[in-house]
Amino acid sequence: MPTDKETDWIYRESTKKLLMRLLLAGCAISVLLELFVLGRKEKFGVDGWFGFYAMLGFVSCTLMIFAAKGLGLWLKVPTDFYEEEKTGKATKKSSKKKTAKKAARKISKKKKGGAL
């Protein structure tokens, strides 16, 4: 296992802990700064609650992550998707291309006067 100095700085456990602490401190500071905002007007009623915008950001980010996971499952292709032609498995598109090429060769041979 590589030592702490051999790994990149972003993958070190000490860096991960520092970044997590900075993230949590930034979130806490942004919520606490809401105490000092004076004269904020409510537009919908719920946007006047303490920490509403922090919670809105958290919920929307979580929903985007779940949507991305769902899209990933929906758009996923098999791992051997690009290897099918190499292994000899003919897909519908590749078999159509092959038959079209064969037909084109037959036509060109007929024009040249060659045998089928």
User: Which tens digits make up the pLDDT trace of 38-80?
Assistant: 788 888 888 888 889 899 999 999 999 999 999 999 998 888 8
| Closest C-alpha to 58, from 31, 19, 21, 18 | 31
Task: Decide if 1 is inside a domain.
Answer: no
Task: Decide if 84 is inside a domain.
Answer: no
pTM over 0.85: no
CA distances from 18 to 8, 12, 30, 37, 67 (A): 15, 10, 18, 29, 29
Task: Decide if 18 is inside a domain.
Answer: yes
Written as six digits, the tokens of 89 are 């498995």
pLDDT at residue 6 is higher than 70: yes
Task: Decide if 86 is inside a domain.
Answer: no
The DSSP call for residue 44 is S
pLDDT at residue 114 is higher than 90: no
Task: Decide if 101 is inside a domain.
Answer: no
More confident residue, 58 or 89: 58
* Count of structural domains within the chain: 1
For all residues of the chain together, what is the average pLDDT?
A: 82
Domain region containing 61: 9-75
- Work out the average pLDDT over 1-14: 80
